[in-house]
Amino acid sequence: MRSSLIRSLALLSLAPASLLAQEAEGGTRVFMQPDTGLMFWTLIIFVVLMFILSKFAFGPLTKAVADRERSLQEAIDKANADREAAAKLLQEHQAKIEAARDEAQKFISEGRAVAEKMRSDMIDQTRKEQQDILERARRDIESEKEKAIAQLRREAVDLALAGASKVVEQNLESAKNRQIVESYLSSIGTLKVGQ
C-alpha cells in the first residue's frame, strides 16, 4: 500500500515535467483545444478500467455493501424482536407481581380474619370460664352457707337442750328431745324463708 502511494506521487510529480517538455519541443500547447488521439486513448483506458473494476472491484464491493445492509437489517429485526420479547416478559413479570401482591393482600386479610376470630373465641372462652368460676364459687358459697346453717342449728339445739335441762332440771332423753327441737327449728327456718 505504501509503495503504490509512493509510485502515484512520483507519477504526479513527473506529469508537469513531461508537459513542460512537450511545450519546449513543439511550441505552445493549448489546453482547451481537443486532441482526438488523446481523447481516443483516454476513452479506451476508461472503458478497460471500468470493465476491470466492474469485474473485480464493483461486484465484491456491492456484495459487501449488500451483506452489510442485510446484517444491519437482521440486527435491527433481532433488536426489535428482543425488544418485543422484553416488553412481553416485562408484562408477564408485572402481572406476576400484581398477582403476588393480590395474593399477599388476600393472605393478610385472611390472617386478620383468623386473628380476629381467635381473639373473639378467646374472649368468649374467657367469659365462659369466668362464668363457670363464678357459678362454682356461688355453689361453694351456698354449700358452705348451708353447712354453716346446719352447724348453727346443731349448736342451737345443743344450747336449747342444755338450757331446757337446766330449767327442768331433770335428765331428759337426749335423742328424742334433739329430734323435737330440730323439727321445731326446721319449721321456724322454713317459715322465715317462706315469709
Q: Which of 174, 178, 173 is nearest to 157 (CA)?
A: 178
**Residue 169: DSSP 8-state:** T
148 belongs to a structural domain: yes
The span from the CA of 7 to the CA of 18, in Å, is 16
158 belongs to a structural domain: yes
56 belongs to a structural domain: no
150 belongs to a structural domain: yes
Q: pLDDT (tens digit, 0 to 9) for every residue of the chain, 195 residues total?
A: 556 556 665 555 555 545 545 555 555 556 677 788 888 999 999 999 998 988 888 888 888 899 999 999 999 999 999 999 999 999 999 999 999 999 999 989 999 999 999 999 999 999 999 999 999 999 999 998 888 888 887 877 777 776 666 655 444 567 777 777 778 777 776 655 445
165 belongs to a structural domain: yes
pTM above 0.75, yes or no: no
Number of domains observed in the structure of the chain: 1
132 belongs to a structural domain: no
The span from the CA of 195 to the CA of 183, in Å, is 18
Res 172: pLDDT:
56
Res 194: pLDDT:
47
H/E element holding 86?
helix 59-168
Res 3: pLDDT:
62
127 belongs to a structural domain: no
The span from the CA of 37 to the CA of 151, in Å, is 162
134 belongs to a structural domain: no
Give the domain range for residue 183.
143-194
